[in-house]
Amino acid sequence: MDIIEKANEEAIRRMLGAEPVLINVVPAREIVPNLQDKMILHAGPPIEWDRMCGPMQGAIAGITVFEGWANDLNQAFTMAASGDIAFDANHHHDAVGPMTGMTTVSQPMLVVENKTTGNRAYCAINEGLGKVMRFGGNDAEVLNRLAWIRDVLGPAMGKALRDMGGIELKPLIARGLSMGDEMHQRNVACSGLVLRAIAAAMAKTSDDGTELSEALAFISANDQFHLNIAMAMGKAIMDPVRDIDGSSIVTAMSRNGTDFGIRVSGTGDEWFTAPVEMPEGLYFAGYTEADANPDMGDSTIVETIGLGGFAMGASPAVAGFVGAGAASEAANYTHRMSEICATENPEWTIPSMDYLGVPTGIDVRLVVDSGIAPTINTGIAHREPGIGQVGAGVVRAPMACFEQAVRRLAEKLGIS
Amino acid sequence: MESDKDNASLLGGKLSVINVGLDKFATELADHDVPVVHLDWKPPAGGDPKLAALLSKMGT
């Protein structure tokens, strides 16, 4: 249909025309729209307390103690279950968060501005691997690290970014793809590039050598440090693509550990949800599939812009890490995702695939017609609260979300 | 119309197979050292005729 094709051309124009820049780190209370005290933003489509999975409830209890709204985890669980805490989806507040995706007032938020359209998107700073809040960790070690990020790392990064005028992310991603990252489960190269870009400005703006050293060491030791930057970038790119009449391009994919949800440009901010699936992958020593929680997090925003599972061909190493098969299989994932996307990104290319651009603009019509569901590279959380990450794997977006979206878009267009 | 002679020739000669759809057939042939190329194909819209009709009108 002409109206859909024209709408999708506009959607792709906005996606490819975006100029995302990491400009600042600011406490959430100062910058995240409509975020209030005793309010917790979480990953995925909206969900009530009773339907939340174990890690999500564990993280909520932990962040409630971290914010000082409860004295201990037991009190926090009671408050959360009795309605004393308000919950909402990150996506409703220009924000995203990995795995459980906790966003609350005192957390420092990475700020990515889309210079083309002027909109901003936010994500908290990555905590590292293992026992961390995004995987449901909530003990003293987790909360102490969050306090250090709030008091030391966040302010140091904010000062540096303001001093240096920000970090342009489009060329950084292009370089990272050529260095073997797919920006979801492998961010080794991009994390290093961010460190290189920001280190001098952090040194210049620091007045405490010990804190500076700790901050630089933290970034250096965290291979996934760049993930949260990529996520805020993805949100900043995709938000201007919302609400184009007739467009069948996906603007968000997200999971809360119970439901998988997508949004589509031509159907506005409506969520199309289905039960989330279990990742298939590899487990850390001592853990098995029986320990795993279903798929979770806003991090699928990176697949929505053509990275992660869509850019698997750039990252043969990640195919092994997530249990997706041989390195030679990585390119096949990218080829399959090309079949469900409107175009390729000429600025984000994969050298080993003859500079093929990453598949860009997931079209719900193509997903349903072909039966090919988006491939997502993901971390795997333990199903019980408080334990953390137990593996990494690959998961498919549920086809039912895309079928609902096609029917709703058809209805809006008067097609029956 | 194929003649009995054509069938005899097909079954009597060396097979090279393109398998469309279910991969189990391709796997079975490969296990018996028959050259086979598998094409991963599913009916449009998972075989749902109403959804397929909508998609057709929507330009896929």
Taking only the tens place, the pLDDT of each residue in A127-160 is 987 778 787 778 888 899 999 999 999 999 999 9
pLDDT over 60 (residue B1): no
Considering only alpha carbons, which residue of chain A is nearest residue B45? A369
Instruction: Give per-residue pLDDT as tens, A204-261.
Output: 999 999 999 999 999 999 999 999 999 999 999 999 999 999 999 999 999 999 999 9
Question: Does residue A324 sit in helix, strand or coil?
Answer: coil
The burial of A29, by beta-carbon neighbours within 10 Å (0-12 exposed, 13-18 middle, 19 or more buried), is given as: middle
Does any CB of chain B come closer than 8 Å to the CB of residue A327?
no
Q: How close is the nearest chain A Cα to the Cα of B5, in Å?
A: 39
Question: For chain A, how big is the Rg over CA atoms in Å?
Answer: 20
The token duo for A136 is 């449901």
Does any CB of chain B come closer than 8 Å to the CB of residue A5?
yes
Per cent of chain A over pLDDT 90 is: 87
Report, as an integer, the average pLDDT of A148-176. Answer: 98
A33-42, A126-135, B6-15: which is most confident = A33-42
Does any CB of chain B come closer than 8 Å to the CB of residue A248?
yes
Give the residue numbers spanning the domain of B29.
4-57
The domains of chain A, with CATH numbers, are 24-233 (3.90.1710.10), 241-412 (3.90.1700.10)
Does any CB of chain B come closer than 8 Å to the CB of residue A371?
yes
Q: What's the total number of domains in chain B?
A: 1
CB within 8 Å: A248 and B44: no
Local confidence band at A331 (pLDDT 50, 70, 90 cut-offs)? very high
Q: Judging by DSSP bridges, how do beta strands A167-168 and A20-27 pair with one another? A: antiparallel
Question: For chain B, how big is the Rg over CA atoms in Å?
Answer: 17
Residues in B lying within 8 Å of A, measured between beta carbons: 42-46, 48, 51-52, 54-55, 57-60
Mean pLDDT, chain A, rounded, equals 95
CB A385 within 8 A of CB A61: yes
CB within 8 Å: A1 and B54: no
CB A222 within 8 A of CB A266: no
Question: Does residue A187 sit in helix, strand or coil?
Answer: coil
pLDDT over 70 (residue A40): yes
Local confidence band at A30 (pLDDT 50, 70, 90 cut-offs)? very high
Q: Judging by DSSP bridges, how do beta strands B17-20 and A86-89 pair with one another? A: unpaired
CB contacts, 8 Å: A248 with chain B: 58
Q: pLDDT value at position A317?
A: 86
Q: How many helices (H) and strands (E) does chain B have?
A: 3, 2
Q: Is A21 left (phi over 0), alpha (psi -120 to 50) or beta?
A: beta
Instruction: Give per-residue pLDDT as tens, A52-109.
Output: 999 999 999 999 999 999 999 999 999 999 999 999 999 999 999 999 999 999 999 9
Does any CB of chain B come closer than 8 Å to the CB of residue A413?
yes
Q: pLDDT value at position B6?
A: 65
Q: Rounded CA gap, B28 and A43, in Å?
A: 44
Q: pLDDT value at position B4?
A: 67
Instruction: Give per-residue pLDDT as tens, B10-48.
Output: 677 788 899 998 889 999 999 999 999 998 888 888 899
Nearest to A365 among B46, B48, B60 (CB): B60
Other residues' Cβ atoms within 10 Å of the Cβ of residue A144: 11
Q: Rounded CA gap, A204 and A207, in Å?
A: 8
Q: pLDDT value at position B8?
A: 64
Report, as an integer, the average pLDDT of A182-186. Answer: 96
Q: pLDDT value at position B44?
A: 86
Q: pLDDT value at position A345?
A: 98
CB contacts, 8 Å: B46 with chain A: 368, 371, 399, 403
Q: How close is the nearest chain B Cα to the Cα of A185, in Å?
A: 27
Q: pLDDT value at position B13?
A: 76
* Cα–Cα nearest to A354, from A341, A367, A338: A338
A319 phi/psi in degrees, rounded to 5: -60, -40
Task: Say what the ipTM of the complex is.
Answer: 0.84
Query: Where is average pLDDT lowest: A33-42, A314-323, A366-375?
Result: A314-323
CB contacts, 8 Å: A9 with chain B: none
CB A330 within 8 A of CB A312: yes
pLDDT over 80 (residue A181): yes
CB A87 within 8 A of CB A40: yes
Considering only alpha carbons, which residue of chain B is nearest residue A247? B58
A394 phi/psi in degrees, rounded to 5: -120, 140
What does each C-alpha distance from A246 to A7, A61, A241, A363, A414 come to in angstroms? 6, 41, 12, 12, 11
The token duo for A324 is 């997706």
Q: Rounded CA gap, A356 and A66, in Å?
A: 45
Considering only alpha carbons, which residue of chain B is nearest residue A409? B58
Report, as an integer, the average pLDDT of A321-341. Answer: 89
Q: How close is the nearest chain A Cα to the Cα of B42, in Å?
A: 7
* Cα–Cα nearest to A415, from B45, B51, B48, B43: B51
Query: Where is average pLDDT lowest: A10-19, A298-307, A370-379, A381-390?
Result: A381-390
Q: pLDDT value at position A320?
A: 80
pLDDT over 90 (residue A115): yes
